[in-house]
Structure 1
């Protein structure tokens, strides 16, 4: 991982700080009862109670320690991988943006009354990070191709447009597949916007 902060990739301290921030924030929102109760996405509370902050906080709230640990480990892996091609603050920004987009998308789905977790945002970070790796040479580009295909195939196989929520007995709660699809679309949009901005800056006269 680059040590020079002027390069596109993240530094080790930056990535570790980003991972620590995600782990600490999500742990607080998941295991402190007051934060959990006021952070979870509740459709009625947002629409009729004007509790709009839940669109920002819901991604950090998890339902139990297994849910939190799975999402936290996935976030750490994706932040490390994305750090090969992008700075840590960019990865965190994409994660946050994708999480908010997921919550806004869920507002249009009456079947989903409540939601918590990073999985939707992580699908966005995964696709954005994978596409960013396509600019890198050798093995990193190959990883980017495989990860991009993996996210796309997973979203396609889940077919969330047919069943936005599917109960998973191993977790003991419904998996909101629609959040995965919304997150992936948000991640793609972030990458397209960033790529357009890079091209615009490259064409601008110095």
Structure 2
């Protein structure tokens, strides 16, 4: 069990930083697609130290329109959850930190030589949402279902056995290692922001 502040991001905390960051990621993805930026924005294990900005740009790059659309739909759902719970600045900061760190987690997987897409960061977002939902009165009842769904997906994908696999439905290589790494990074960033940035006690 994660020991965190007993006070969730209540309505006194504006949910707009979380929603704004979700919108930024969505708009960035659409812009990168429109500009047809190509793989110079992708994260490459062999050269990322010479191109460190790819820690941020790789999640915005997608392999196909349906790949991007699927991720944008998930991102939209997370933005709505941010309004419902609501998620405040601590959740937004955790997501901001997870943005490059979820990509950086791929360094733990020698099998992953190239990475693009928002899916790793989306898994990080789900972990962050769960951390806050488990403390929010409006979401406590369904927060275990969110955690169960995330764990079931990770266990089904078995990234520790198949870090990269071809998905015929999406017609792309799916980097399950990015999903697992993103979830772990999101959990750590979310917990740190909850613990270290507790609301000040009323005097």
CA deviation map 1:37-69 (0-9, x unaligned): 32111222214xx11111111111111111111
Aligned to 1:78: 78
RMSD, aligned CA: 2.4
2:29 aligned with 1:30: no
Aligned to 2:167: 168
Shift in alpha-carbon separation, 1:102–1:68, aligned structure 2, 3 A: same
- Taking the aligned partners of 2:57 and 2:108, their CA distance within structure 1 comes to 18
Question: How does the TM-score come out when normalised to structure 2?
Answer: 0.83
Aligned to 2:12: 7
2:188 aligned with 1:186: no
Question: How does the TM-score come out when normalised to structure 1?
Answer: 0.82
Aligned to 2:149: 150
CA deviation map 1:55-92 (0-9, x unaligned): 111111111111111111101111210332312x5444
- 1:127 shift after superposition: 1.3
Q: Which has the higher helix share?
A: 1
- Pairwise mapping of residues 105-120 of structure 1 onto structure 2 (< 5 A)? 105-120=105-120
Higher RCO (CA-CA < 8 Å; seq separation 6+): 2
- Pairwise mapping of residues 52-91 of structure 1 onto structure 2 (< 5 A)? 52-83=52-83, 84-87=85-88, 90-91=90-91
Contact 1:98 1:187 in 2 (8 A): yes
- Unaligned ranges ≥5, structure 2: 1-9
- Taking the aligned partners of 1:20 and 1:198, their CA distance within structure 2 comes to 24
- Runs of 4+ off more than 6 Å: none
CA deviation map 1:120-144 (0-9, x unaligned): 1111111111220111225x21222
Contact 1:82 1:130 in 2 (8 A): no
- Taking the aligned partners of 2:105 and 2:99, their CA distance within structure 1 comes to 10
CA deviation map 1:84-118 (0-9, x unaligned): 2312x544443332231222121232211111111
Shift in alpha-carbon separation, 1:52–1:136, aligned structure 2, 3 A: same
- 1:9 shift after superposition: 4.9
Aligned to 1:131: 131
Contact 1:99 1:118 in 2 (8 A): no
